Amino acid sequence: MKNSRRSFLKLAGISALGLGTKPVLNAFASGGHSEKHEAEIQKNPDALKAKRWAMVIDTRKFESEEDFEPIIEACNKIHNIPKHTNKRHEIYWIWVDEFKHVFINQEHEFVDDRVKHLPFLVLCNHCEKPACVRACPTKATFKREDGIVLMDFHRCIGCRFCMAACPYGSRSFNFRDPRPFIKEENKEFPTRMKGVVEKCNFCAERLAVGKTPACAEASNGAIVVGDLHDPESEVRELLKNNYTIRRKPDLGAGPAIYYIV
Amino acid sequence: MLELAIKGGKKYWILIIGLLAVMGIAFGFWLWQLSFGLGITGMSRDVSWGFYIAQFTFLVGVAAGGVMVVLPYYLHDYKAFGRITILGEFLAIASVIMCLMFIIADLGQPMRALNVLLYPTPGSVLFWDMIVLNVYLLLNIIVGWNVIEAERNNIKYPGWIKALAIFSIVWAPLIHTVTAYLYCGLPGRGFWLTAILAPRFLASAFAAGPALLILLCLIIRRVTKFDPGKEQIQSLAKIVTYAIIINVFFFLCEIFVVFYSRIPSHMDHIKYLFFGLHGHNALVPWMWTSMAFMVTSIILLVNPITRKNEAVLAFACVILFIGTWIDKGMGMISGGFVPNPLHHVVEYAPTIPEIIITLGVWATGFFVLTILFKIAISVKEEVSGV
């Protein structure tokens, strides 16, 4: 009796171990090849496409704080971003800060007055080599082929490793249920639950139906998005004719947001 | 052998019930955190890891520190430690359990924790940390249990146990190295971005772990009939002495590099911790206390006269443990987040519910430790026939 119970437990233990480690072993066995796709996803023919999405922000076109409000508001509204009362719980996708905070290692004492006092827009940089994607233990944050870094809110375990990894402070965490703090819910975009990380998604849901990102649309031409790999694109045109800077280029993350100062 | 854990005196049961009470209260607060979210803690989008992850980091060190009694016995055949290797192994078990609990307490969606296995990501250090910690836990359970069972039956432990024990000796530095890699590979955090981080973690681990073990040995001698031994305690004390000196040396290496090079993104965190930054200085008294405690413990431990006096030794171990705990358990994590990537100084302090949940995890660790030590010592008393 005792013997059979013991051997049963042994067998059960080994089976459980086998089941538990199967996905892990699969990951190593797959050797980088993706699993075969069973269903073909139909793409919207109107969808905006790019080999590598990028954004150019022409900061010369902004004059005061008020110029940024409609841009930030457009994003907040479309993406159901809550307005928390407790500062610790705040969620930002796109916001403004001073030059000395946005371009930490490019600031100096005698920078001209316009730059010194003008707010600068900050958002996720959709990096070429995103530190957040590397850190995430579940692939809940991932980089798409077109360069957009996205979040899977349903897979995120809320470990916040990505927030520690991001050198731009672009990520926010839902420290509590955000839904009671959303003024007007946009039914077209999901609300989030407590305990997951979120950030700017380059309006992937709008690009998919042929619309440009909400911030660009609300910017009166001050924000332009386009394909970095297409020499004819508007972003390439702007980059060719203007001197642009990026945030913390020395880290080598390759941010896709360019600023004309 | 588990039956030994339920045969105890009155004091033993008072301790057990006391720990269970703390665990129960903390569990209630954890349920609150589960329903409200991590918003009941002091963390924010700027300081996104706090007390839980800091305790986790410190306790990985304590777990790894247990190896300092296992190593001399199995690798150098230092017989004296044969009496107490089991204490090191059981301390490691309790510490790793606390580590895993702190990770769970820190997750925003703990019910999804197994996603780490369902979607394994070998590029993420957290994935490897999960593996090394669980393997270390398993190794110590298997080795510890078999060694104490063999001792009870008056036989030598089987050969494969020795092989596993040696494997666990290699594994112990690994758990703390991988834990350091969680931090030191992140591009935008100047405070952590230093190759000395893993060595520093190990040095403070090999000081704090054995220091706790010395204190536990002194307590065991007092409350049980088992004496871990004078020689054993003194040998541990020497290990602690070397480790804490190396820890402070590594820290000073970091200070030199940071302040001689004067790179602001590396300097500002240390400035914040030790002098305050832009008028924010919540951690300044803590950090200087930590330094004073570590230096004082070095003075007391280096001098053979004070080290050999067990009362002084106990005092040195207490302040060393507190000093390394402040350094790693408070300064190391929030120090890395302040100032934030946009160079704003947003301070962090744990909230009351956060502290209670933390105490609950510590109580669980001591609960596990008490039961394991009770079993080990009962066996030792049984065998020696006292």
Kindly report, residue by residue over B17-45, the tens digit of the pLDDT.
Answer: 999 999 999 999 999 999 999 999 999 99
Can you read off the two tokens belonging to residue B100? Answer: 């895993």
Q: Give the Cβ contact number of residue A260 at 10 Å.
A: 18
pLDDT at A83 over 50: yes
pLDDT at B204 over 70: yes
Share of chain B above pLDDT 90, in %: 94
The ipTM value here is: 0.92
B51 plus B19 within the same structural domain: yes
- B225 located within any domain: no
- B47 located within any domain: yes
What is the maximal distance between C-alpha atoms in chain B?
Answer: 66
The CATH number assigned to the domain holding A82 equals 3.30.70.20
> What is the number of structural domains in chain A?
1
- For residue B5, the model assigns a pLDDT of 84
Q: Phi/psi at A119 (nearest 5 deg)?
A: -75, 150
Contact A163, B38 (CB under 8 A): no
B193 plus B126 within the same structural domain: no
pLDDT at A19 over 80: no
- A181 located within any domain: yes
Q: What is the per-residue pLDDT across A179-202, written as a single tens digit (0 to 9) for each?
A: 999 999 999 999 999 999 999 999
> What is the number of structural domains in chain B?
2
* Residue B89 to residue B128: CA distance in whole angstroms: 22
Share of chain B above pLDDT 70, in %: 100
- A219 located within any domain: yes
Question: Using the beta-carbon criterion (under 8 Å), do B188 and A168 form an inter-chain contact?
Answer: yes
B149 plus B6 within the same structural domain: yes
B328 plus B201 within the same structural domain: yes
- For residue A107, the model assigns a pLDDT of 85
pLDDT at A172 over 70: yes
* Residue A131 to residue A170: CA distance in whole angstroms: 12
B371 plus B262 within the same structural domain: no
- A20 located within any domain: no
Split at pLDDT 50, 70, 90, the class of A44 is: confident
B117 plus B23 within the same structural domain: yes
The pLDDT of A216-221, averaged and rounded, is: 95
Contact B66, B92 (CB under 8 A): yes
How many angstroms separate the Cα of A208 from the Cα of each of A79, A202, A220?
15, 11, 22
The pLDDT of B200-221, averaged and rounded, is: 97
Can you read off the two tokens belonging to residue B182? Answer: 């969680």
- For residue A18, the model assigns a pLDDT of 62
Q: What is the per-residue pLDDT across B332-347, written as a single tens digit (0 to 9) for each?
A: 998 999 999 999 999 9
Q: Is B188 on the interface with A (CB under 8 A)?
A: yes
B114 plus B24 within the same structural domain: yes
Question: Using the beta-carbon criterion (under 8 Å), do B186 and A165 form an inter-chain contact?
Answer: yes
Angle between helices B67-76 and B85-106 (to 10 degrees): 140
The CATH number assigned to the domain holding B4 equals 1.20.1630
Map chain B to HEC letters.
Answer: CHHHHHCCCHHHHHHHHHHHHHHHHHHHHHHHHHHHCHHHCCCCCCCCCCHHHHHHHHHHHHHHHCHHHHHHHHHHCCHHHHHCHHHHHHHHHHHHHHHHHHHHHHCCCHHHCCHHHHCCCCCCHHHHHHHHHHHHHHHHHHHHHHHHHHHHCCCCCCHHHHHHHHHHHHHHHHHHHHHHHHHHCCCCCCCCCCCCHHHHHHHHHHHHHHHHHHHHHHHHHHHCCCCCCHHHHHHHHHHHHHHHHHHHHHHHHHHHHHHHHCCHHHHHHHHHHHCCECCECCCHHHHHHHHHHHHHHHHHHHCHHHHHCHHHHHHHHHHHHHHHHHHHHHHHHHHHHCCCCCCCCCCCCCCHHHHHHHHHHHHHHHHHHHHHHHHHHHHHHHHHCC
How many angstroms separate the Cα of A226 from the Cα of each of A123, A236, B277, B377?
16, 8, 41, 71
- B87 located within any domain: yes
- B300 located within any domain: yes
Closest approach of A103 to chain B, Cα-based (Å): 8
Closest approach of A198 to chain B, Cα-based (Å): 11
B24 plus B67 within the same structural domain: yes
Chains A, B: CB contacts within 8 A come to 162
- B214 located within any domain: no
Angle between helices B284-302 and B310-326 (to 10 degrees): 150
B54 plus B157 within the same structural domain: yes
pLDDT at B354 over 70: yes
Contact B296, B313 (CB under 8 A): no
- A118 located within any domain: yes
Domain that holds residue A217: 53-260
Split at pLDDT 50, 70, 90, the class of B329 is: confident
- For residue A35, the model assigns a pLDDT of 54
Q: Is A155 on the interface with B (CB under 8 A)?
A: yes
The pLDDT of A168-182, averaged and rounded, is: 97
* Residues from chain B contacting residue A99 (CB–CB below 8 Å): none
- B240 located within any domain: yes
pTM of this structure: 0.92
* Residue B342 to residue A170: CA distance in whole angstroms: 10
Split at pLDDT 50, 70, 90, the class of B382 is: confident
Split at pLDDT 50, 70, 90, the class of B242 is: very high
Going by the DSSP 8-state scheme, the letter that residue A248 receives in this structure is S
* Residues from chain A contacting residue B45 (CB–CB below 8 Å): 88, 90-92, 163, 169, 171-173
Domain that holds residue B338: 189-206+235-350
Contact A234, A71 (CB under 8 A): no
pLDDT at A13 over 80: no
- A152 located within any domain: yes
B172 plus B259 within the same structural domain: no
* Residues from chain A contacting residue B344 (CB–CB below 8 Å): 101
- A212 located within any domain: yes
Hey, of A109, A157, A173, A194, which one would you mutate to test binding to chain B, going by the most B CBs within 10 A of its CB?
A: A157
The pLDDT of B168-193, averaged and rounded, is: 95
Question: Using the beta-carbon criterion (under 8 Å), do A137 and B36 form an inter-chain contact?
Answer: no
Burial B39-60 (b: 16+ CB within 10 A, else e): bbbbbbbbbbbbbbbbbbbbbb
Preceding peptide of B339 cis, ω within 30°: yes
- For residue A1, the model assigns a pLDDT of 46
* Residue A125 to residue A258: CA distance in whole angstroms: 9
B364 plus B290 within the same structural domain: no
B312 plus B381 within the same structural domain: no
Question: Using the beta-carbon criterion (under 8 Å), do B37 and A195 form an inter-chain contact?
Answer: yes
The pLDDT of B196-206, averaged and rounded, is: 97
- B213 located within any domain: no
- A15 located within any domain: no
User: Would you call A247 helix, strand, or coil by DSSP?
Assistant: coil
Q: What is the per-residue pLDDT across B116-128, written as a single tens digit (0 to 9) for each?
A: 999 999 999 999 9
- B262 located within any domain: yes
Q: What is the per-residue pLDDT across A90-108, written as a single tens digit (0 to 9) for each?
A: 999 999 999 999 999 888 8
* Residues from chain A contacting residue B107 (CB–CB below 8 Å): 157-159, 195
- A35 located within any domain: no
Q: What is the per-residue pLDDT across B262-315, written as a single tens digit (0 to 9) for each?
A: 999 999 999 999 999 999 999 999 999 999 999 999 999 999 999 999 999 999
